[in-house]
Structure 1
């Protein structure tokens, strides 16, 4: 299910997590070469993604 990004925070391991409008969090790691998300490494990059849509895996699981 698609949800809007409302904020970002770092978890206990200092990995970035997107806070979604449903209240769930989704990790947004920059982990080359498997996942390229250079935008997550800067404040400007994260700010540009506020309001964008992401798939919420937890909402998908709750619908089943």
Structure 2
């Protein structure tokens, strides 16, 4: 199920995590050749992706939110 990126934070290993508008977190790593997300590397790139949708597997599975959506 596609959900929009609302914001970002870094996890305890210093990797970027998207906060989706559904209340779930999803890692957004740039790890070529498996995952090609060069926009994650810069602040401008991350900001440009706010509102863009990612496939949220946690929503597909009916998982509880990772954070409370206000």
Scaled to the shorter chain, the TM-score interval is over 0.9
TM-score norm. by structure 1 comes to: 0.92
TM-score norm. by structure 2 comes to: 0.85
Structure 2, unaligned runs of 5 or more: 64-70
Coordinate RMSD, CA, aligned: 1.2
Give 1 or 2: higher helix fraction: 1
How far residue 39 of structure 1 moved from its aligned partner, in angstroms, is: 0.5
**CA–CA distance in structure 2, aligned partners of residues 20 and 48 of structure 1:** 15
**CA–CA distance in structure 2, aligned partners of residues 56 and 50 of structure 1:** 15
Moved segments of 4+, more than 3 Å: none
**CA–CA distance in structure 1, aligned partners of residues 38 and 23 of structure 2:** 24
What is the aligned length?
Answer: 63
Match of 1:46 in 2: 46
